[in-house]
Structures are given as structure tokens and as C-alpha cells.
A and B are shown apart, each in its own frame.
Chain A
């Protein structure tokens, strides 16, 4: 079929960092590195303990208030990024300094990205017209969970390859947690979107902890 014609062209545009045509960046110091190594140091510092604390508060002290959880998540993720995660990110053999304007731009970016994420969540089977607010909250949670990784994508000149695993782990956590929804236990935490929120937190926890080992 039409695939035959394409074979000759062999265009190679991928999301992997190996063969990416590097965008010219504003950072002069990186010019000259054809494959600047991007990685996260293997360190206990990357463990996002605050996620577990937040989950504990969410489950035992807030009556599963997803809004409150989001309010807690945003600042703690910023601190996590500045104090922990960024200190372990190595790009071009250097631990890059925190770029404060970008920290806030990424916050806005995460907020904006919650809309496409909402669409993806609906594609994955969230109710279409009902519970749109809950679905959006879930989307925002996912986006802000991905926020440190997202900042790093921006900060490392869009080398997506390394950071994909963080998104995948969040999605995987959320996807696996759907299992409890159909059970007939009639527990309050089975209501939409609580299980998926918890699942994506756990996914993010595992992701950020083990991201550098995968």
C-alpha cells in the first residue's frame, strides 16, 4: 500500500533523545554537545515523600476532598522540584541551577495541559457529560504530578526521551487503580475520581523513586 512509497523517504522523527534533531537553545554552553546526556542521579533525594504524606492526609483527614488535595499538591511539588528533584537532574554533565521563571511558567503549563489531559481521561472512559468537574480535578492532579518532569523537559531543551517514563508511571498507576471501581463494596472511596487519584499518586511515587533506575 502507500507504505511502500514511504519506505524510501525514511523520515526519522521520534520522541527519543538518541536521534533527535536538537533544537537550537538559548544556552550557549550546550552547543557542541551532539548528544548531551540527560539523566537523573540515583539518589534517595528523588523520593517524593510528600506524596505519601498528602495521600495520608487525603485519606484520613480530609474526607477525600480532591480540591484540598490539589491545593496541597501544587506548592509541595514546587518545593520538591526546587529542593529535591532538580538537584538530581544532570544535563550536559552539570547539575543545572534552578530557573525560577521557568518554575512558574511550568506551573501555568501544567494548568493548561490539564485540558488535553481531561480529553485523554475522557477517552479512557471517564463520564462524558456528568462529573466533568471531578474529571478535570483528576486531570489537574495528573498534570501537577508530572510537573517536575515537565519542568525538566522545558529546562533540558525538550529532550523528552528520559522523562517519558514519569508520565507513563502516572498513567499506569491511574489505569491500574481503575480495577476497584466496579467492585460492589459501596465504600466512599470508590467514588469517581478518588481511586484514580490515589492510583496516580502511587504511580508517581514509584515513578519518581525508581525513575533513575529504569
Chain B
């Protein structure tokens, strides 16, 4: 059975990958660079409105950070907006709202490809380069402009370095640092402003985004960051606009590449994430009439509330972020990049030479038409017959084309989709056959719960709400499962006290309820009083609970029996705890007062006196812990192989290894969530007791088969339930990267970071996988030599079955709903998460790691 199972798992993974490659293809782009098409000579001879550009991208600069009276501290920008020397807009940033796709949008004007969101994480990928694609930057470069760039090194991945006469990249992935990352950009400014030789100066600041990721949108660090950014804008403005030499030929653009949600994450399509701020600054703007919305109001503004009383983040005029591309191209006398779906912002048309305005609009219209591959006849308006174009009609027409273009951004590879799906269906059929055969030997009724759950989850993938709120489904299943378990154990009447049964179930129910109240998940309901927030504001309770959790996990009764083992566990637990405290201190979290001195002492003892600050000892401490834990696990395995030998079973090997992995999981968990493991431990203490009740009262074979069918089921439910209650969702926005950088210095290895990121996001699910090992593979359940592999296989089969059913439904829903409004924001992320679950949780943790452990045991 093991061989067949392996084959089926491989087939299933292959099917998913084929489907995904067909579903997330690279977008087809029009090659070549654009030229002026209409009145080319007139266009190239007309003097451009501006000839110097300073583009300041402030990562995650949401519209309210620029314009809101309560949130914004950009006082200089406000005063310029009120004077009319600055025009402000709310720019709609197309999801996925992460930096790499957004930068592509800002420079090429094209709509993003979903794959870019994933590549944003895998930064080493070279396929995302824009060297061959027509972009604003390329147009500037080909015009012989002098380009300089300082800031987020994503730009340097997108554009060849030789396009810039000077550049320096900063690393965007050190989320916990929000000072140095910006100082590294600002320090170039005095020199650059004095030299004043750059035609295009691009700055990309990351600090604000980092604050968001770390501490949320209303962090106490925000005000300071706003003031810092405002000061920089003021400095650049004064130096470029008031110097006599260049007068008013410099245009400054301050913009966010995307917004953020209240928690400070981004990637999805909520109003906060898609509403980025954008401000154009120049003395020249004051000579023209300011945009309609801005004329009537004094900035900063009050927020606009929607029907539910939430801020909709729409301030001043709303535009598409990609509109920046044709606008800048027009203002600087460049051809509009070929793949741009932008429409010139109408307010800027008045700044053009009057004789060229209609040409520019036609040019924009023509370019959009070519992109949409439709002839002008299909649209109502035909401009060739008309010399004086009706601006308004053409503008509307362009908006329509834009809408259509943004909707149909991708072409699917149907062959791959069909092949992938067929393989999956075949492997599902075989898996069902296998599980049917396996369970009909035992008791066919035990197949019911897993089938019901699989079908329920499968059906739910067709509804965007259920995908977004999947945590509700798992909570619903959990409550149902506990209740059914209570009722059925009570009615089975196997001669154990009903009081005890009720008590056990109540404890588990209570624990589950506490877990449910721990953090927010999903999009629909956000509660303020979740436990993680409560713990955050009650520092002492939080840290004593964390300490208790680590102690309880480290010192269960088997580890106190042997002095040598006790020392190792003690060392590991202390190391883990000190590191977490140290990390919290460095990240400005509160810890109980006396922790400061003792942590400092402990760090200097452990890693020597070279590290003088908490910051310095962070990386050595993490490395020490990681090395210690790896050495311990390897050492433990060698010890069991050499000293205990083959004749005596080392029954403690698996529990010990599980314990060390638990410590590693805690190491990869944020401080507000560590004490969840305490609740896990309580549940984990109780449910084997319930299982024992069943076991004691029926004969051995039945008990074994019940146990073998219940354990994977319980593990599956708890893996998913706790994954969502840990803060996970099916949206790219909640991938937590704050724990991915433990012990990783500046020259990081992408695979290591990726591994840590996955472990930290799947920590609770890993816990509920490994926790079954001691029960499954203990000496009493393994009877003869081959039996452990039979247990392994029968434990994996239901989970494979579940994944096959859900996979079939999910792929079908992705295919059927491929033109759905939410395909990129809801269904595609779900598909990615599903791939992640399959590859990491089932193949790597559940199959390879567990298989290794079983082989060794």
C-alpha cells in the first residue's frame, strides 16, 4: 500500500503543478518600444512641459497618510496642496498589492500578473526583469536622460543597472528595521541635490511599509515617519523649485506603490490596500486651475465613510495608478509605453502646448486601441474624421478600454489545465478505491466523517465568501466534531463515567473556544478584543504565560528522569526563551522590566562579551539556538542507533524528537501567539485520554482500527483549525514574514528565509502533525516488523483522500470562475495556499520528515 500511496501522492502533486503552470502563465506583452504615431514631428519638436523628474515612492503610502486630518502628518505637503502648487490624487493600485507587481505597473503602465505576487517573495528570480519591456524608465533612458536611483533594490531587479548613472539598493526584507533602511536612501540626497545633474531621480523609501508590517497602520512610529518623509519632500522641493537655474521645470511626484490594511499587511484587494496616495508638486502647477475636488476643500481632509461607517480611503480625485505612466510620458514629451493601459489624467492636459493637446489624446487613444487589439470601428467614436477631438467622449472611451484591458489580463494555457485536471481526477479515483478497500476491511462507517468533511470543504471552494472565511468552516467542523464525539461516547455506554466524559469534552471545547478568540482571521469580522491584542497590552501576563509554555513543553515528566537529557532540554528551553525576549526588546515590544537586565546578562554569558547591545546579540543567539537544536536532534538519533541498538526499542526517541521540534516551532512564533501552544498542550493532554476510554472498553483489534481512523481525522481538523486561529487566511496579505529572518544576516539565503517563513506560518499545523507520532508509532501499536509502515500508510491515506477531493473541487472552481471578479484576489491565492499545504505540509512534513522518523524508530 505504501508504494501505491507514494505514487498517488506524486501524481497528485504533479497534477497540481501542471494546473498551476497553466493557470498562472507569464502574461503576453507587446514587444518593442513605442514611437510617436500621430503627428510624430510635431510631438517630438514641441517643448516638453517639464524636463526633470523627482519620483519619490514611499512604500505602502496609503491615501489617508497623505490627506487625512487625523492620520497624516505631512504638513509641508498639506500647505502646498492648499497653495495649489501641489495636486493630490487617490490612486487605485491594482491587486496584487505587493511591491514588485506595483512597480511594474507604475513603470510600464500594464496590469499585473498574479505570478508577480509570488515572485515578489522569491526575489532572486530573474524572469521578472523589464529590460526588454517598454517602460517609462526605458523611454527616459533612450532619450539619453541621466537617471539615478536610490532605494528598494526591487527596482534594480527590474531594470538593468547600466540604465542608471548612479544607484544604490536597500534591502526590503528586513522588516524589523525602519530607520536605517531609509537613512541609507536619504544620505545620498545632499550630494545629489547639490550636484543637480540628474534628469530623473528616483527614490524608494521602505520604512513606512516596515512599520506597517511590524506594528499596524496606526502604529506609534507612524507620526515620526510621516514627519521624516515630509521633511525630505520639503528639502527636495526647496532645492529643486527655488533654485534660479532650473526654475519650474522640475516635477516632483510623491506616491505610494500600494496601501495597507489596518493590520499593516498588503497583497489583497481591500479599500485600504488598493488606495495609494499620489501627489504632484511643482511651482508651475499654481499657474493652472487645480483639480475640481481639491479646489473646494482645505487639506487635510476628513475621511469619507461608506455605508458601514468604515473609511473608504477615497480623498480628492480618484485615478488609476497606471494613469501616471501616460501622464508623465506626455508631460515629458515621450511616447507612451506600449503595454500601458493608463489614460492621461485630464487635469494635466491644460499644461500642454495648446496645439498639441488633441494630438496627445489621440496618441493615447491609439495606443490603447492597439493594446486591446480591436479596431476603432468597434467603438462608437472614430476620431480620424474629426480634427478637433471631443476630449470628453474620447476620455470616456479610453476609460472603457482601460476597464476591459484590466479585466482580461491573462491568457490561460488550456492544454496544461486539462492535463493537470485529468491526472488529478484519475488519482482521486484511485485514492477513493484504495481508501474504500482499506476501510471495508475494518469498518466502512469510519469513512463517513472524512468523506463528509472533504465534500463540505470541496463545495465551499466555489464560494468566494467561504474561501475568505474558511476559518469559520473549520470552527464549525470542530464544534460539530466535539459535539458528535460527546454524544456518541455518551450513547456508546462503554462503562466509563459520563461525568468524566463530559468534563473532558468541556475542557477541549473550552480550549478550542479560547483558540478561536485568539486572533482575527478572514475578511468579514474584525474584533478588537481578541486575546492576542489583550496579551499585547498586558505585557507581564503575556511573558509569564510564554515562559510557562516553554517550561511545560520542555519539562514533561520523561525529560526530568535523566540528568543528561534534563540539562539539554533546560539549555534549549532557556535559549529559546532568551532569544524570544531579546527579539521582542529589539523590536520595541514591551517585556517585564526585570527581563531587560537578565536577558542582557544571559546573552553576554552565552555568546561572549563581544555583543554589547541587544541588537548585536540577536543573530548569534538565533544561530546558537538553531545549531543547538539541530545538533541535539542528530545526536539523539545517533545515540539511539549506537547505544541502544537494534534489539531494544528506543521508545523515547520519537517523543524526544517531537519535543525538540516543538521548541523550534516556538522559536518561529511571534510572542503574542506562543502561549497558544499552552492551550495545544492541554488539548493534547486530554484527547489521548478520551481515546483510551474507547480503547479500554473494546477489544484490541476494534480499538486499533478506531484509533487509526480517528487520529488522522483529529489531526486534520486541528491542523486546519489552528492554522486559521493562528492568524492564517487564504489571502496573500497575511503571510507573516516577521519570523522568517531569525539568525539570518544581511547576505541572506533565499531558501533559508523561505523555509523559515513556511515553518512560521504553518507552525500550529506542524504541531498537530508531529503530535500524532508518539501515539501512532509507540511500541504497543507496532506489533511486527512491517507494521509501522502499515500504520504510516493508513494514517496518510485519509489526508490524501481529503486533498484529492478538495483539490478536484478547487481546480474546477478556479477553472469555472476564471472570469470572476475575485479570481485574482480570492481563488488564485487559495490555489497557492492549497499548493503550499500539499507541498509543504503533506509532502515534506507529512511524508518525507515523518517517513524518515518512522524509518529511524
- Known contacts A3-B692, A3-B696, A123-B510; is A12 also within 8 Å of B493 by CB? yes
| B463-A183 in contact (CB<8A) | yes
| B464-A128 in contact (CB<8A) | no
B469 an interface residue at 8 Å Cβ cutoff?
yes
| B693-A3 in contact (CB<8A) | yes
A104 an interface residue at 8 Å Cβ cutoff?
no
Central interface residue in A10, A13, A15, A124, by most chain B CB within 10 Å: A124
B495 an interface residue at 8 Å Cβ cutoff?
yes
- Known contacts A15-B498, A129-B529; is A123 also within 8 Å of B509 by CB? yes
Complexed CA–CA distance, A168 and B487 (Å): 10
Identify the 5 closest CB pairs spanning chains A and B, nearest first: A182-B469, A3-B696, A184-B465, A183-B465, A182-B472
- Chain A residues with CB under 8 A of B476: 175, 178-179
| B527-A122 in contact (CB<8A) | no
- Chain A residues with CB under 8 A of B479: 123-125, 175
| A14-B498 in contact (CB<8A) | yes
Return A126 CB to nearest CB of chain B, in Å.
Answer: 10
Our pick among B468, B473, B529 for the contact of A128 (Cβ within 8 Å) is B529
| A4-B696 in contact (CB<8A) | yes
Mark contacts of A93-128 with chain B using CB atoms, 8 A cut-off: 1 yes-contact digit, 0 otherwise: 000000000000000000000000000001111011
| B465-A125 in contact (CB<8A) | no
B466 an interface residue at 8 Å Cβ cutoff?
yes
| A122-B497 in contact (CB<8A) | no
Mark contacts of A1-39 with chain B using CB atoms, 8 A cut-off: 1 yes-contact digit, 0 otherwise: 101101100111111100000000000000000000000
- Chain A residues with CB under 8 A of B496: 3, 6
6 additional A-B residue pairs with CB within 8 Å, beyond A7-B696, A182-B465: A3-B692, A123-B509, A125-B513, A175-B479, A178-B476, A182-B472
Complexed CA–CA distance, A6 and B464 (Å): 50
Q: Which chain B residue lies CB-closest to A127?
A: B527
8 A-B interface contacts by CB (under 8 A): A3-B692, A3-B695, A11-B497, A122-B513, A123-B479, A125-B516, A129-B529, A182-B524
B350 an interface residue at 8 Å Cβ cutoff?
no
| B517-A128 in contact (CB<8A) | yes
Return A32 CB to nearest CB of chain B, in Å.
Answer: 26
Return A177 CB to nearest CB of chain B, in Å.
Answer: 11
Q: Which chain A residue lies CB-closest to B524?
A: A182
A59 an interface residue at 8 Å Cβ cutoff?
no
- Known contacts A14-B490, A15-B490, A16-B491; is A182 also within 8 Å of B466 by CB? yes
- Known contacts A6-B496, A13-B497, A175-B480; is A130 also within 8 Å of B491 by CB? no
| B465-A10 in contact (CB<8A) | no
Central interface residue in B466, B479, B495, B509, by most chain A CB within 10 Å: B495
B10 an interface residue at 8 Å Cβ cutoff?
no
A181 an interface residue at 8 Å Cβ cutoff?
yes
- Chain B residues with CB under 8 A of A12: 493, 495
Return A205 CB to nearest CB of chain B, in Å.
Answer: 21
Complexed CA–CA distance, A4 and B496 (Å): 10
B311 an interface residue at 8 Å Cβ cutoff?
no
- Chain B residues with CB under 8 A of A7: 495, 696-697
Q: Which chain B residue lies CB-closest to A185?
A: B465
Chain B 684-738 residues near chain A, CB threshold 8 A: 689, 692-693, 695-697
B140 an interface residue at 8 Å Cβ cutoff?
no
- Chain B residues with CB under 8 A of A183: 463, 465-466
Q: Which chain B residue lies CB-closest to A120?
A: B509
Q: Which chain A residue lies CB-closest to B463?
A: A183
B114 an interface residue at 8 Å Cβ cutoff?
no
Central interface residue in A7, A123, A130, by most chain B CB within 10 Å: A123
How many residue-residue contacts, CB under 8 A, span A and B? 73
Q: Is the interface of B mostly helix, strand, loop or mixed?
A: helix
B522 an interface residue at 8 Å Cβ cutoff?
yes
| B513-A10 in contact (CB<8A) | no
Chain B 477-531 residues near chain A, CB threshold 8 A: 479-480, 483, 487, 490-491, 493, 495-498, 509-510, 513, 516-517, 522, 524, 527, 529
Complexed CA–CA distance, A205 and B476 (Å): 23
- Chain A residues with CB under 8 A of B695: 3
Complexed CA–CA distance, A3 and B798 (Å): 29
B475 an interface residue at 8 Å Cβ cutoff?
yes
Our pick among B463, B469, B473, B513 for the contact of A123 (Cβ within 8 Å) is B513
Return B822 CB to nearest CB of chain A, in Å.
Answer: 10
Chain B 581-627 residues near chain A, CB threshold 8 A: none
Complexed CA–CA distance, A13 and B510 (Å): 25
Complexed CA–CA distance, A179 and B509 (Å): 20
| A125-B475 in contact (CB<8A) | yes
Mark contacts of A174-214 with chain B using CB atoms, 8 A cut-off: 1 yes-contact digit, 0 otherwise: 01001101111100000000000000000000000000000
Our pick among B468, B473, B480, B495 for the contact of A10 (Cβ within 8 Å) is B495
Q: Which chain B residue lies CB-closest to A4?
A: B696
- Chain A residues with CB under 8 A of B697: 3, 7
Return B696 CB to nearest CB of chain A, in Å.
Answer: 4
Mark contacts of B87-131 with chain A using CB atoms, 8 A cut-off: 1 yes-contact digit, 0 otherwise: 000000000000000000000000000000000000000000000
Q: Which chain B residue lies CB-closest to A11?
A: B497
Return A122 CB to nearest CB of chain B, in Å.
Answer: 7
Complexed CA–CA distance, A3 and B695 (Å): 9
Complexed CA–CA distance, A171 and B516 (Å): 20
Return B670 CB to nearest CB of chain A, in Å.
Answer: 22
Return B106 CB to nearest CB of chain A, in Å.
Answer: 30
Complexed CA–CA distance, A202 and B654 (Å): 50
Complexed CA–CA distance, A13 and B501 (Å): 12
| B463-A130 in contact (CB<8A) | no
| A16-B493 in contact (CB<8A) | yes
| B495-A11 in contact (CB<8A) | yes
Mark contacts of A119-149 with chain B using CB atoms, 8 A cut-off: 1 yes-contact digit, 0 otherwise: 0001111011110000000000000000000
- Chain B residues with CB under 8 A of A127: 527
